[in-house]
Structure 1
Amino acid sequence: MIIGIDLGTTNSAVAIWRDGESVLVPNALGDLLTPSAVSITDTGEALIGLAARERQPTHPKHTVTAFKRFIGTQQSVTLGKRKFDAEELSALVLRQLKADAEAFTGETVTGAVITVPAYFNDRQRKATRRAGDLAGLEVKRLVNEPTAAALAFGIQTREQEPFLVFDLGGGTFDVSIVEVFDGVVEVRASSGDNRLGGEDFNERLIDLVRARIDPDKKLEKADPVVLAELLRAAAERTRRKLSESDEAEFAIVWKDESFATTVYASALEEACAPLLQRLRDPVLRSLRDSNIRVETLSEIVLVGGSTRMPIVRKAITRMFGRFPNATVHPDHAVALGAAVQAGLLSRDVALDEVRLTDVCPFTLGIEVAEGDGRGGYREGIFSPIIDRNTPIPASRVNSYHTLADNQREIHFGIYQGEAREVASNVKLGEMRIQVPPKPRGEVSIECRFTYDTSGMLDVDVSVPSTGVTRSLVIMDQSDPLTEKQIAERRDALAAIKVHPREESENAAVRARAARCYESFLGRERDIVGQWLSTFDGALDSQDPRTIREAREQLVTALDSLEGERFL
C-alpha cells in the first residue's frame, strides 16, 4: 500500500486512496492531524505528536517543534542525552504516521508520497527523502504542497479555468497557478517563500506584547529556552483566538506570577504589515511566469492553517479584489492530494483519466565568468540552464568554453536562484572535469541538467572532443552519507523506544494537564492538581475502563478551563 503524507511544519497528516477517494487516517487519539513535535522523556522514551507538543511548555529542553524549518542543514538539537538533526526528527514523525496508517487499514505500508514546499531546494528535498528512508518508507515521489492541494481541489471541481492555490502554513508560503482540462491537472507556475509562515506571525505577536507584559523586566531573569517556549505557546493560542475575535488575552505564568495583556486584531495587523507585504511578490511572480492575468483566475483557493487568520484573508481579498475560496479544508487538502498521487502511482482505475504535470519552481544553472570589456573576466556570474516554471520532467543542455590557454580542468559550481550573481543564490553542489590543454576557447564543454517530477537534479558534463563524461546526482556536501551510514542511522533511530501507540491518549492528556497546572494560578491551579492526582490514581489501577472514564472526565474538565483544544 502507498500512502500520502503531508509532512508539515506545525502539523502532519496521512491519507490513503480508497474506493475512488482520498481518506484521511486518524491517529491513536482519533485526530486527523498529528503535531510535528518530538519529546524525549527522562527514561529516554520518545513521545511524538500531541503528547510531545503538550510537554513543550513544561519540558522545553526535551521537546522540539518546527524542525522542518532546518531540514537540509547541519543544525541539530539536543533532547535528553542525544543530538537529533531535522531528518531524524522528521523520520520519527513519519514512522508514527506509517504506524497509524497500518493500524487503520490493517495493511503493510510499502511506499509513500511525501509533500514538500514548492520552494524547497535540492538539498532540502534529498533530506526529506532520507527522512523517509530512515523511517522505513520507500519514498515513491515528492510532490510540491500547492500542487498536492491543487490535485485534491481539481479532482473535486474539474475546473476548466485557471485557479490559484494560496498555501500559507506554519513555516512556509507557496503559490501555484493551476489549470484542469480533460483530466489533466497542469501546474502553470509556482513561487514561494521558505521563511514565511505562522511561526513568523507568532514572533511579531511576541514582539508586540513583550514590553507590555513585563514592564519591570522580571522575565530577563528567566531561562531563555524556557521563556521562549512559554511565549511561543502563548502567541500560538492568542493568534488562534484572534481568528475568531477582535481581541484576546496574551498570558504566561513564570515563577507563580502572571504576565498578561490584551491584544487587538488591529494592532496585530499593523505589526504584521511587513509579513503581509511579503505575500505579494510570489503571487505576482507566478502570474508573470504563467502569462495569466489575475482577472482570469476562476478561484483563489486557500490552503494551510495560517490562512485562517482574518488579517491574512483581508490581505488576500485586497490583493485580488475578491473573496477567496475557503471551501477546501486548509489543513487537510495537501494530505488528500498526496493520497490522490498515491492512487495514481498505484494505477487505481478510478484515476485512469487523471494526469498531473508540474513545473520546476526555481531557476537552475552554473557559475561562469564573462568578459569585462577590458580584456579581463568577471567571475561569479549565474548562467541559467533550466528556467523556473519549466514543465517537468525537463532536460536542458548549454555549451561553454575554456577561459585560459592550456587550461586543464573546468570547475562547475551548481546553483539555484534568480539572481545574476551566484553569491545571492543557493549553492547545490560542484563538480570538476578534465579538459585537454589547448588555446582558450577551443575546448567546448556541454553541461546538461535533468530535473525530474520529484524535484531531483541530475547533472551531466561532457567534453565532446575527448568523450570524457562526468555525472552527478546533487548530494548535500556537508553530509555526504553512504548507504552504510544511512543504515546505521536507521538502526540508531529504531533503537529509540517509542511511547506505545495505544497509550498516546493518556500521555497527551496528562501532558496537557501538567501544562495547565503551570499556566494557571490560585484556585484553578489547585483544581488542576486535584484532577491530575485523580487521573494518576486511575492510571495506577491499570483497569482500561477506569482509565478511559477518568481520561474523558479530565479532557472535559480541561476543555471547560481552557475553552479550547487546538491542533
Structure 2
Amino acid sequence: MALVGIDLGTTNSLISVFTDDGPQLIKNGVGAFLTPSVVGVNDTGDIIVGDAAKYRLVTHPDKTVARFKRAMGTAKTHKVGKKDYKAEELSALVLRALKADAEAELGVPVESAIISVPAYFNDIQRKATYAAGKMAGLKVERLINEPTAAALAYGLNTKDDENTFLVIDLGGGTFDVSILEIFDGVMEVRSSAGDAFLGGEDFTTAVEDNFLEQLGKTRDKVKPKELGRLRDLANKAKLGLSEKPDITVKYLDGTKEVELTLTREKFEKLTEKLQSRMRMPLQRAISDAGLRSSDIERIILVGGATRMPVIRAMVTRLLKKFPEHSLDPDEVIALGTGVQAGLLARHEALEDIVMTDVCPFTLGTDIAREVGPNQYESGYFQPIIERNTVIPASRVVRNSTIRPGQDHVSISVYQGESPRVEDNVPLGDLKVWFPKEKDKHQDFDIRFTYDVSGVLEVLVTVISTGKTEQLILEGNPGSLSQADIAKRLKELDKLKIHPKDVAENAAIINRLKAAYENHLGDIRNAIEHNLVQFEAVLAKQNDTDIKLARESVIKFLDDLDAMDVF
C-alpha cells in the first residue's frame, strides 16, 4: 500500500509519492500531471472528471461544474446534469480519479493520503476535506497547509542553509501567505495568513466583466453557454498577458465576430482591488512572525496565478525584493505534499529533517466582560491558543464565576479572530458544575491542547474540588451534517453589528475589530480594552461622553496604524 500526497486545487489537482529519488509527481490517464478539478456527466449520463469534463465546460455548462472548492464545508450545491452535489462530493470524485491514476502507476493499492488545504481554511472547511477523502476511499492521515507544503519542496534542497522564507501562494481560488525559517535541518512555520476567497479565478472574472462591458452586455442577460465561451476567452486573455503586453481575442456574438482587446496596463487597473486585498494577509503574516519586511531573505511564489506579471511586480514593489519561482508554481505544492508523506512514513532520506507547523486560527472560549460596576456583557471571545502558535501546543487560562453561589458554567469553544464569538466559528460546548457554596465565587482553569492532526482537547478543572471535565474536538470526525451546515450558515447571516445608528460609531467599532484580528498578545488585549470601554460608553448614550471616547479611540487606532511592517 502506498501513502501519497495530493494537492486538491480549485483549478487543477495533482498527486505525488515520495521515493528514494525524492518526491515524484504521478501522471494521469492522458499523460499529464495536472488534472483539472472539473466534474461533469457525458451524453450517456456517466460521471467524467478532469480533462474530459473540462472540454465540456463551454459546450455543456449545465452538465459540468468547476471552481467548487470555495464551497467546501457549506450547504451550497452544484447541479451536474439532473443531480445536485455538495463541494465535498465533487472533490471526492476528483480524489477518486487521482487515486485510480496513482494505483495504475504504482501497481499497488493507495489507501492513505496527505492532502493540502489553504492555510486559511477554517475547521468546517477542513472537516469537509477530510470527508471528501473518506468518500474517495482514502484515509486522510493529515492535512497540510499549502504554503507549508511549498516551503517543504523548496526547503528540501536548502535544508543545510539558514533562511527566512516568505511563501506567497495564489492559486485558482485561494490566497495564502506563510513565513518559515530553516535552520539545522528544522523547517519551522512562523506564521500563516490568507484569504480563502481570493484567487486567479477572480482575476479572470475581472477580465470577463471588462469583456461584457466592451460588448455592451450585462451578465444576467447572457445565456450560460455564451457566458462560458466568454469566460474561456477571458482566461486565455489573462494567460496571454503573461507573455505579451497586449492581446486581442475574437468573440462570435451571434453571427458577428467582435474583437475584444486588453493591455497589461488596463488589466492592472481592472485588478487594483484584488491586488490590494493581498496586502493585508502579507502584513499580518510578517507582523505575527515578529518580523519586518527587510528581515525576509527569500520570497517564493507558488500557485499558477503567480505567473501573472502584475502579481510579480506588485510583490517586488511591496517587499522590495525579487521573488523566486524556480520550481513550477503549479506543481510545487504537490511535491511538498509528497515530502510530507515521506516524513510521515519516516523515509530514511528525510531522517535529518524536522517540520513544525502552526495553528492557523485562534482557538478560545466565550466569556463575559465587565462593562461597569457589577455589570457584565456576554459574548466576548477569550483567546487561549492564538493563531500562529507552533503546534503541538498546550495553554491554560484561569476564569472565575460572575456571581457568588453560581453552581455551573456553560463553556463554548470557538475558532476565529473576532472579539465577539458570534462572528467566529463554533466548535463545541461543555458544561461544568460547582459545589453549592452560596457566598463564594468559583475559580476554574481551562486548558486547550492542540496537536498537528487537528485534535483539540479541552480540559476544565474546578480549583476547589480538583474535578475535571473533558471535551475532545477531532480534526477528522467526518462531514458535518446538512442540518449543522445549514444552521451555521444561518448564524453567519446574522453577524452582529453593534446596535447603534450613528455611522461613525459603527465605523470605529468595525475598525477596532479589524485591528483586533491583525494583532496578538498585549496589543490585542489593549485593542479589546478599548473596544469594551467604547461599547460601554455607547450603551450609556451620553453624547458628550461618546464624543470624548470616540476621539480617544481614534487617536489610539491612528497610533496603531503607524506601526506598519512595510
With the length of structure 2 as denominator, give the TM-score of the two structures: 0.80
Determine the structure 1 residue equivalent to 2:311.
312
Partner SS, residue 55 of structure 1: coil
In the TM superposition, what is the alpha-carbon distance from 1:19 to its structure 2 partner?
Answer: 1.6
CA contact (8 A) 1:370 1:378 kept: yes
Determine the structure 2 residue equivalent to 1:537.
none
Determine the structure 1 residue equivalent to 2:301.
302
CA RMSD between the two structures: 2.4
Instruction: Please tell me whether residue 239 in structure 1 is matched to residue 241 in structure 2.
Output: no
CA contact (8 A) 2:187 2:356 kept: yes
Alignment of structure 1 residues 206-355 onto 2, 5 Å: 206-213=208-215, 215=216, 217=217, 221-223=221-223, 225-253=224-252, 255-355=254-354
Partner SS, residue 157 of structure 1: coil
Aligned residue type for 2:185: G
Alignment of structure 1 residues 487-506 onto 2, 5 Å: none
Partner SS, residue 372 of structure 2: coil
Decide whether aligned partners of structure 1 residues 13 and 218 sit closer, same or farther in structure 2, where only a CA change above 3 A counts: closer
Aligned residue type for 1:102: E
Aligned residue type for 1:178: L
Instruction: Please tell me whether residue 202 in structure 1 is matched to residue 204 in structure 2.
Output: yes
Alignment of structure 1 residues 43-192 onto 2, 5 Å: 43-158=44-159, 159-192=161-194
1:267-311 Cα deviation digits (max 9, x unpaired): 110111111112121112111221223223221111000100010
In the TM superposition, what is the alpha-carbon distance from 1:124 to its structure 2 partner?
Answer: 1.0
> How far apart, CA to CA, are the structure 2 residues paired with 1:292 and 1:219?
44
Decide whether aligned partners of structure 1 residues 124 and 218 sit closer, same or farther in structure 2, where only a CA change above 3 A counts: closer
1:313-352 Cα deviation digits (max 9, x unpaired): 1101101112111112101111101101111111111111
1:375-423 Cα deviation digits (max 9, x unpaired): 2112221100001111111122222222245544423332222222223
Decide whether aligned partners of structure 1 residues 84 and 227 sit closer, same or farther in structure 2, where only a CA change above 3 A counts: same
> How far apart, CA to CA, are the structure 1 residues paired with 2:440 and 2:56?
63
Q: Considering Cα pairs closer than 8 Å and 6+ residues apart, tell me whether 1 or 2 has the greater RCO.
A: 1
In the TM superposition, what is the alpha-carbon distance from 1:150 to its structure 2 partner?
Answer: 0.4
In the TM superposition, what is the alpha-carbon distance from 1:40 to its structure 2 partner?
Answer: 1.6
> How far apart, CA to CA, are the structure 1 residues paired with 2:477 and 2:100?
32
In the TM superposition, what is the alpha-carbon distance from 1:359 to its structure 2 partner?
Answer: 0.9
> How far apart, CA to CA, are the structure 1 residues paired with 2:24 and 2:478?
39
> How far apart, CA to CA, are the structure 1 residues paired with 2:299 and 2:37?
27
> How far apart, CA to CA, are the structure 1 residues paired with 2:441 and 2:435?
10
Partner SS, residue 361 of structure 2: coil
Q: Which runs of 5+ in 1 are unaligned?
A: 483-567
Of 193, 196, 206, the residue aligned with 2:195 is: 193
Determine the structure 1 residue equivalent to 2:467.
467
CA contact (8 A) 1:366 1:383 kept: yes
Aligned residue type for 2:374: G
Decide whether aligned partners of structure 1 residues 107 and 179 sit closer, same or farther in structure 2, where only a CA change above 3 A counts: same
Decide whether aligned partners of structure 1 residues 358 and 445 sit closer, same or farther in structure 2, where only a CA change above 3 A counts: same
Decide whether aligned partners of structure 1 residues 375 and 164 sit closer, same or farther in structure 2, where only a CA change above 3 A counts: same
> How far apart, CA to CA, are the structure 1 residues paired with 2:91 and 2:158?
33
Aligned residue type for 1:394: A
With the length of structure 1 as denominator, give the TM-score of the two structures: 0.80
Aligned residue type for 1:92: L
Aligned residue type for 2:200: G
> How far apart, CA to CA, are the structure 2 residues paired with 1:247 and 1:363?
44
Partner SS, residue 384 of structure 2: strand
Decide whether aligned partners of structure 1 residues 434 and 43 sit closer, same or farther in structure 2, where only a CA change above 3 A counts: farther
Determine the structure 2 residue equivalent to 1:395.
394
CA contact (8 A) 1:174 1:193 kept: yes
Moved more, 235-244 or 396-405: 396-405
Partner SS, residue 211 of structure 1: helix
CA contact (8 A) 1:402 1:441 kept: no
In the TM superposition, what is the alpha-carbon distance from 1:471 to its structure 2 partner?
Answer: 1.1
Determine the structure 2 residue equivalent to 1:449.
448
CA contact (8 A) 1:457 1:473 kept: yes
Decide whether aligned partners of structure 1 residues 440 and 80 sit closer, same or farther in structure 2, where only a CA change above 3 A counts: farther
In the TM superposition, what is the alpha-carbon distance from 1:75 to its structure 2 partner?
Answer: 1.1
> How far apart, CA to CA, are the structure 1 residues paired with 2:321 and 2:284?
19
Partner SS, residue 442 of structure 1: coil
In the TM superposition, what is the alpha-carbon distance from 1:204 to its structure 2 partner?
Answer: 1.7
Moved more, 450-459 or 433-442: 433-442
Aligned residue type for 1:141: R
Decide whether aligned partners of structure 1 residues 430 and 469 sit closer, same or farther in structure 2, where only a CA change above 3 A counts: closer
1:356-389 Cα deviation digits (max 9, x unpaired): 0111122111111111124211222110000111
> How far apart, CA to CA, are the structure 1 residues paired with 2:236 and 2:210?
15
Decide whether aligned partners of structure 1 residues 221 and 291 sit closer, same or farther in structure 2, where only a CA change above 3 A counts: closer
CA contact (8 A) 2:454 2:475 kept: no
Determine the structure 1 residue equivalent to 2:540.
none
Decide whether aligned partners of structure 1 residues 362 and 441 sit closer, same or farther in structure 2, where only a CA change above 3 A counts: farther
CA contact (8 A) 2:455 2:475 kept: no
> How far apart, CA to CA, are the structure 2 residues paired with 1:170 and 1:413?
35
1:47-74 Cα deviation digits (max 9, x unpaired): 1011111111111111111111010111
